[in-house]
Amino acid sequence: MKITAIILASGSSKRMGKDKLILEYKDKRIFEYVIDLVSKFPFDEKIIITNNDEIINYAKIKGILNYNNPHHEIGKSESIKIGIENSKKENGYMFFVSDQPLLRIKTVKQILYQFSKKPELITYPMYEGHRGSPVIFPNKYKMELLKLTEDMGGASIIDEVNSQGVLIDNCVENIDIDNQEDYSRILKYE
């Protein structure tokens, strides 16, 4: 199955109080890590949903298409819908969050491999018993994803029957930056 990579990067960083994606981590800004990672894979399409000009310009350099989210304040459901509506009809979708700088190539490969074995199942990483990101949704879930509202993510669609987890040994990869405490914690991994 062909897959569209969709990077969600249009949140308003309410809990952080400032744009977390432009914060520095090691030698880059937070948003650069996931964009760089996605650009290394031969996805059928690569899309980012953002309103930030810095992120748009960086994504363009990496060959990633940008779509703005004029309703980002509604929540992540709007970004999910924009990504799906602007991807090829037959593709599945691999959703990445843009504030997960510790995510490794190895992990994305593992998720893609497991999905290739059972492409009818939603596929996600499991970090210490918890679902994480990125997540692949087969195309058959398109209509359900398009019905999401407000800050609902795809997790509301996942159940034990329609999904498969991929055990990931490095739980720090699942750290995403929602507040100052998360950012401070991630800085310890320099």
Three-state SS for 22?
helix
Q: Are 33 and 84 a contacting pair, CB within 8 Å?
A: no
Inter-residue contact 156 to 168 (CB < 8 Å): no
Q: Rounded to whole angstroms, how far apart are CA atoms 138 and 123?
A: 9
45 CA to centre of own chain: 14
The neighbour count for residue 155, using CB atoms within 10 Å, is: 13
- The total of other beta-carbon atoms located within 10 Å of residue 181's CB is 11
Give the contacts of 113 (CB within 8 A, at least 6 positions apart): none
Q: Please state the separation of Cα 160 from the chain's center in Å.
A: 21
* Tokens read off for 178: 């929602």
Q: What single string gives the DSSP state of each residue in 18-44?
A: S-GGGSEETTEEHHHHHHHHHHTS--S
Question: In the chain, what are the domains?
Answer: 3-187 (3.90.550.10)
Residue 93 Cα distances to 80, 98, 174, angstroms: 10, 15, 19
Read off the DSSP letter of residue 40.
Answer: T
List the pLDDT tens digit at each of the 190 positions of the chain.
799 999 999 865 555 555 778 888 899 999 999 999 999 999 999 999 999 999 999 999 999 999 998 877 777 789 999 999 999 878 789 999 999 999 999 999 999 999 999 999 999 999 988 899 999 999 999 999 999 887 778 888 888 899 999 999 887 888 777 777 878 787 877 6
